[in-house]
């Protein structure tokens, strides 16, 4: 298996996880890894990537169970932050003092935050 730099390893894990969830055949996953990294990985390499994903997921799940209240607190803080930002952008949009370009920027950011919030909840 070729050497992957850190960013490529993350990309490979992401490709494998995303396509494995969709029950995509191994050869197509291998082809997609090559298309995005220009490096070849075999079926045994794919097996080790999947094992690494499982190990990482297990460790993350174990950590979350042990510190579940801290995780819930951080999760709630993130949601509160997004809601606060949405309120501020609404104030800018509703303000008579702001320029049109500021209002347009706030509308775009408000739209982005509106997409981010449900994604955070998933």
* Residue 15 neighbours by CB under 8 Å, 6+ apart: 29, 32, 33, 36
| DSSP code of residue 97 | S
Q: What distance lies between CA 107 and its chain's CA centroid?
A: 23
- How much is the pTM? 0.55
Q: What are the pLDDT digits (tens) for 48-81?
A: 999 999 999 998 888 878 877 887 888 888 889 8
3-state secondary structure of 118: helix
- Sequence spans of domains, the chain: 6-66, 68-121
Q: What are the pLDDT digits (tens) for 92-109?
A: 888 888 888 888 888 888
């Amino acid at each position: 298996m070729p050497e992957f730099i850190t960013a490529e390893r993350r990309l490979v894990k992401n490709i494998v996880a995303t396509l494995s969830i969709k029950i995509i055949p191994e050869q197509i996953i291998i082809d997609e890894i090559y298309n995005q990294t220009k490096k070849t990985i075999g079926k045994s390499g794919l097996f080790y990537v999947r094992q690494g994903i499982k190990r990482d997921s297990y460790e993350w799940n174990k950590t979350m169970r042990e510190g579940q209240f801290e995780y819930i607190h951080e999760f709630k803080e993130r949601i509160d932050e997004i809601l606060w930002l949405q309120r501020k952008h609404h104030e800018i949009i509703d303000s008579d003092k702001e320029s049109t370009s500021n209002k347009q920027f706030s509308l775009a950011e408000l739209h982005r935050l509106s997409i981010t919030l449900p994604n955070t909840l998933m």
